[in-house]
Amino acid sequence: MNPVQPAQPAVRGGGWLRREEAIMGTSVSVELWSDDRAAGEAAIAAVMADMQRIDWTMSPVKASSELSRINREAATQPVALSNELYGLLERALYFSQLSDGAFDITFASAGQLYDYREQRAPTEAELATARAAIGWQQLLLDPQHRTVRFGHPGMRIDLGGFAKGHAVDRAAAILRGHGIRHAVVAAGGDSYVLGDRRGRPWNIAVRDPRRPDQVVAVLPLEDVAMSTSGDYERFFERNGERFHHVIDPKTGRSAHGLRSVTILAEDGLTSEGLSKSVFVKGLAEGMRLVESQEGVDAIVIDAEGVLHYSSGLLGAAPQSGNPGRQ
């Protein structure tokens, strides 16, 4: 997700500020307007600090994170959770139920077996063992004691983009608390557009999954969350098959049939949860899910590179490009 306009120059002491940092294994950026430069810098610093905090809490690779502790201990005993993480697990289970299991953070039971840098995929035997541990119904929450327990010894969870959706939601709230009314915050494929661009919408680009320097659509947006899931960020190809990080929980393999899914919704948890759900469910079932949700829209690019818009975007006539059929 990228704003396609350049930052505007300062006017009457106010101005556009932008900062980008590497957090949560991805690029995190904030662009905002502030009438006071120092106040704007303080708002950006508060957002980046909270992003770092979320990363230290929810990282699946940092051994000291709360999520890593869950993965180490929850198969043998209930693990007490912070209110924040307990709430996120509740929301994750909500989207699992809504999507009939297409969204499932226990996918990590198989997802952990892939190494995209080393181009390693699990064997059939490894996948068979891992699939037995996948299943959101086996992620057992105790609302009275605020604990989680795994119903299978091989289970692992990974919030992935869901944590980033949460992070951009929190970032928008932090910016509002600092008096910021015009901003875009992005964490990887998840973003939140706060207000407009001082009298006009933010024009937000959706990239071409096969040509990273090209865009397939430009959407005029304000006050909305946007998440994109695709087969092009972390992947490798072997014998004509693309192995990517969006895992179908039912198979433990990369989901196929779509190149990317972009969801617009009121909050980042919804946009992220549905972008993964639609990608796994495929075009027909995924679009039916989108159309059943109030205030949700989608742009889906299928395996042939054809764009499909939900009904709420057809009338908006977004500017679009021609995605590559590669």
pLDDT tens-digit readout, 100-129? 999 999 999 999 999 999 999 999 999 999
pLDDT tens-digit readout, 139-197: 999 999 999 999 999 999 999 889 999 999 999 999 999 999 999 999 999 999 999 99
Angle between helices 268-281 and 283-291 (to 10 degrees): 150
Q: Which domains does the chain have, with CATH numbers?
A: 1-60+160-194 (3.10.520.10), 66-150 (1.10.3980.10), 201-326 (3.10.520.10)
The two structure tokens encoding residue 210: 């096969």
CA distances for 43 relative to 12, 57, 243, angstroms: 19, 21, 39
Amino acid in position 112: Q
Between 93 and 4, the more confident residue is: 93
pLDDT tens-digit readout, 236-266: 888 888 999 999 999 999 999 999 999 999 9
Q: For the chain, give the percent of residues with pLDDT over 70.
A: 92
| pLDDT, position 233 | 85
pLDDT tens-digit readout, 188-243: 999 999 999 999 999 999 999 999 889 999 999 999 999 999 999 888 888 888 99
3 pLDDT higher than 60: no
| pLDDT, position 241 | 87
4 pLDDT higher than 90: no
1 pLDDT higher than 90: no
Report the distance separating Cα 152 and Cα 155, nearest Å: 6
pTM: 0.92
DSSP 56-114: HHH-SS-TTSHHHHHHHHTTTS-EE--HHHHHHHHHHHHHHHHTTTSS-GGGHHHHTT-
The answer to whether 289 touches 276, Cβ cutoff 8 Å, is: no
The two structure tokens encoding residue 74: 């929850």
Tell me the mean pLDDT in the region 75-87. Answer: 98
